[in-house]
Structure 1
């Protein structure tokens, strides 16, 4: 993932998805949780204005979470957002309830909560 402010975006994913730093260097941070790694690289050029959501990207990362409401609160506190609960949807065949959101720079992600069964 590319970001204009590597520190801010890394802090967002650390806080919202309980990821931890496993490597840092000049212009990048590698985060990890449960064997999944996300590298945040410094962006060259201009970023999107005002952190507007960029839904037409080549990648959307989907994170397993325990509670969508908790993710919604934490994302907002760190400069991003999880869309309103009215936009959540369920996949019975795959066993989750999901909602999209954006990080502070507009990168769209999806949070997936297990359906109680």
Structure 2
């Protein structure tokens, strides 16, 4: 049975932390695809935000990062327990920007609509699976 509850009008999540092998590359990806501003930078982290989303990209400690291989294209982390959903102005534009910045999305034909948002799965340059969504 389809849901009749409207999508939330306020964010249910204050923020999200993403751990990175390559801090600057992931910052460039999320800043570029999600159009977020850098609001804080410190040793080993950068926080990006707008009025509805706060994303902290945190460097994985060097001794651990040295043992990790990202690959090109990255191996998708599809076995993760969480998949963040980011609202964007345009799925088509997000797909282009994601590819330009080392990530990607599934084909536009695989997008679907659920709870007032058209959704498309994608991934960042380190293979973290994300979902982009636009208001319909």
Cα 1:47/1:87, change in 2 over 3 Å: farther
Cα 1:74/1:90, change in 2 over 3 Å: same
1:39 equivalent to 2:60? Answer no
> Larger C-alpha radius of gyration, 1 or 2?
2
- Aligned position for 2:3: none
Count of aligned residue pairs for this structure pair: 113
Uncovered stretches (5+) of structure 1, i.e. residues with no partner: none
- Aligned position for 1:18: 35
Cα 1:35/1:66, change in 2 over 3 Å: closer
C-alpha displacement of 1:35: 3.3
- Aligned position for 1:54: 77
TM (norm. structure 1) is 0.90
Moved over 2 A (4+): 46-49
Q: Deviations over 1:62-117 (max 9, x none)?
A: 111121110010111000001111221111xx1011011000001111111111xx
2:87 to 60, 64, 67: 64
- Aligned position for 2:105: 82
C-alpha separation between the residues in 2 aligned to 1:36 and 1:48? 29
Compute the RMSD of aligned alpha carbons: 1.2
C-alpha displacement of 1:49: 3.3
